[in-house]
Structure formats: structure tokens, C-alpha cells
């Protein structure tokens, strides 16, 4: 009885090793690229930027204006 059980276990694992290593079928996926024309590229550029980038650009613009005003107050040394 013990030998039959051991032989059964050996046959089970041998069969399992042959069935678990099968190659799977590979499916092909086709990706098509489509170009979309946009009428207003400036608005699309704004949509792609994140909120931090847009806020940073506004702050940069304000700071640059203040710097230009201070330079005008001081005067140009040249």
C-alpha cells in the first residue's frame, strides 16, 4: 500500500511538471496612431500644463515686472 501511494505521488508530480511548462499563445495587438488637428494650439498648451506650472508662470511674470520697475527707479548706469 505504501509503495502504491509513493508511486502515485511520483507519477502525479511527473505529470504536473510536463503540463505546467507549456508555452502560451501570444496574441498580437495592433495600435493605430491617429493625428488630430487642433485649431487653437495655445489653449491646448495651457491644458497640458499642471496647476503648479501655470501658477509659477504667473508669479514669475509678476516678479519680473517688479524687478523691471525697481531697475527703472534706480536708473541705468550705462
When comparing pLDDT for 39 and 3, which is higher? 3
Q: Contact, 38 vs 44, CB < 8 A?
A: yes
Q: Does residue 57 lie in a domain region? A: yes
Q: Does residue 71 lie in a domain region? A: yes
Q: Containing domain of residue 77, as a range?
A: 49-78
CA distance 32 to 29: 10
**pLDDT level of residue 35 (50, 70, 90 thresholds):** confident
Q: Does residue 27 lie in a domain region? A: no
Residue position matching grid coordinates 508555452: 23
Q: Does residue 54 lie in a domain region? A: yes
Is the pTM higher than 0.85? The answer reads no
Mean pLDDT across the chain: 79
Percent of the chain with pLDDT over 90: 22
Counting the structural domains of the chain, the total is 1
Q: Contact, 12 vs 19, CB < 8 A?
A: no
What was the pLDDT predicted at 63?
Answer: 93
Amino acid at each position: 500500500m505504501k509503495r502504491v501511494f509513493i508511486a502515485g505521488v511520483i507519477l502525479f508530480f511527473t505529470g504536473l511538471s510536463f503540463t505546467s511548462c507549456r508555452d502560451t499563445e501570444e496574441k498580437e495587438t495592433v495600435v493605430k496612431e491617429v493625428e488630430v488637428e487642433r485649431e487653437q494650439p495655445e489653449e491646448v498648451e495651457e491644458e497640458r500644463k499642471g496647476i503648479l506650472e501655470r501658477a509659477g508662470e504667473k508669479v514669475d511674470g509678476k516678479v519680473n515686472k517688479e524687478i523691471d520697475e525697481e531697475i527703472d527707479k534706480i536708473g541705468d548706469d550705462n
